[in-house]
């Protein structure tokens, strides 16, 4: 009898141990994945245009308050962020821009665009198939009511006319100057070394922005324009509020905008990789590709 009880007790103990082990394994299997895990090398691009709505963008047209989408020029068409003009619509000086909600300093920006249709009636000749990615912009709320262009650095986007050469990813400098080839560069616009893109074909461009130091324009992964040390200056902006900026001060950050400049355009995508963030490798949101440290953003 003692031997039988001992075997029974041992059997119960082994059964309890097996049940406990299986229960622990089942619980471990059912645990959710660690959402705090971080792949430090995985790039986290932000879709500035997500193909759905304008909630993250603010329009500003000359002679109109910020937030007014004058004559519905900025539109959402077939998942594209588009600029359109009515056939009977005639140019009256109402240049427009639409601004993304957040400010950035160090980043990579890439966009895919195409020009479409005919230019608005009486639009300036230079504005034919002309748009731009406006970098380091002032905010739309700080622009004067009649102001035509924001103070910024413009990565000028141009389309070909069907003949001859017309580069894209050029540089224009409304209210700004830059250093180029170690010299202060004050002309309003300068051409890049890109090829010409005729017709309504899609074009991929990128710009690398490193605060108030280096800025590079790229087309098809090739650097076509490079400059540095952008500063406030130059008078190529009409209607600017007085006293906002001091000539010669460096520009290290700003908003991003696109234009409504008398010719139709579609943006298929506008994406940004922020290069400013937590550079402490112990943090959960550390990224190895950050180049500008933001200690306040660290999460532990």
Cα-flanking dihedrals φ and ψ of residue 189, to 5°? Answer: -140, 150
Pull the structure tokens for residue 120: 């608005």
The DSSP element (H or E) to which 29 belongs, if any, is helix 2-30
Which pTM value belongs to this model?
Answer: 0.87
Number of C-beta neighbours around residue 231 at 10 A: 19
Number of C-beta neighbours around residue 216 at 10 A: 17
Q: Could you give the domains of the chain?
A: 45-277 (2.60.120.560)
Residue with structure tokens 């790039």?
43
Residue ranges of the alpha helices (H) in the chain?
A: 2-30
Under 8 Å between Cβ of 66 and 140: yes
| CA atoms of 125 and 7, how far apart (whole Å) | 99
Residue with structure tokens 């957040």?
102
Question: Can you give the pLDDT of all 300 residues of the chain as single tens digits?
Answer: 444 444 344 344 444 444 444 444 444 444 444 445 679 999 999 999 989 888 999 999 999 999 999 999 999 999 999 999 999 999 999 999 999 999 999 999 999 999 999 999 999 999 999 999 999 999 999 999 999 999 999 999 999 999 999 999 999 999 999 999 999 999 999 999 999 999 999 999 999 999 999 999 999 999 999 999 999 997 789 999 989 999 999 999 999 999 999 999 999 999 999 999 999 999 999 999 999 999 999 999
pLDDT at 35: 42
E strand map for 5-123: 45-49, 57-61, 74-77, 80-83, 96-100, 106-119
Under 8 Å between Cβ of 164 and 127: no
| CA atoms of 54 and 206, how far apart (whole Å) | 22
pLDDT at 36: 52
| CA atoms of 195 and 153, how far apart (whole Å) | 21
Pull the structure tokens for residue 232: 């406030």
| CA atoms of 132 and 118, how far apart (whole Å) | 18
Residue with structure tokens 């039988």?
4
Under 8 Å between Cβ of 205 and 168: yes
């Amino acid at each position: 009898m003692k031997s039988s009880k001992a075997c029974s007790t041992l059997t119960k103990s082994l059964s309890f141990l097996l049940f406990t082990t299986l229960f622990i394994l089942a619980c471990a299997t059912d645990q959710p994945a660690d959402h705090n895990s971080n792949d430090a090398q995985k790039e986290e691009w932000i879709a500035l245009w997500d193909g759905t709505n304008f909630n993250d963008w603010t329009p500003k047209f000359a002679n109109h308050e910020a937030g007014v989408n004058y004559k519905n020029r900025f539109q959402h068409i077939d998942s594209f962020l588009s600029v359109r003009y009515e056939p009977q619509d005639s140019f009256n000086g109402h240049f427009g821009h639409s601004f993304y909600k957040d400010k950035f300093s160090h980043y990579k920006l890439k966009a895919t665009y195409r020009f479409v249709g005919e230019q608005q009636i009486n639009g300036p000749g230079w504005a034919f198939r002309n748009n731009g990615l406006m970098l380091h912009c002032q905010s739309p709320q700080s622009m004067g009511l009649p102001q035509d262009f924001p103070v910024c650095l413009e990565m000028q986007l141009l389309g070909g006319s069907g003949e001859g050469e017309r580069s894209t990813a050029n540089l224009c400098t409304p209210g700004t100057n830059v250093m180029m080839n170690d010299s202060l560069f004050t002309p309003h616009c300068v051409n890049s070394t890109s090829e010409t893109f005729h017709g309504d074909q899609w074009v991929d461009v990128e710009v690398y922005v490193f605060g108030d130091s280096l800025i590079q324009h790229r087309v098809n992964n090739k650097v076509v324009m490079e400059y540095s040390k952008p500063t406030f200056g130059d008078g190529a902006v009409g209607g600017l509020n007085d006293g906002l900026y001091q000539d010669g001060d460096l520009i290290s950050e700003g908003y991003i905008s696109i234009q409504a400049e008398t010719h139709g355009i579609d943006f298929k995508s506008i994406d940004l990789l922020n290069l400013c963030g937590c550079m402490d490798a112990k943090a959960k949101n550390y990224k190895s590709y950050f180049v500008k440290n933001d200690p306040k953003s660290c999460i532990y």
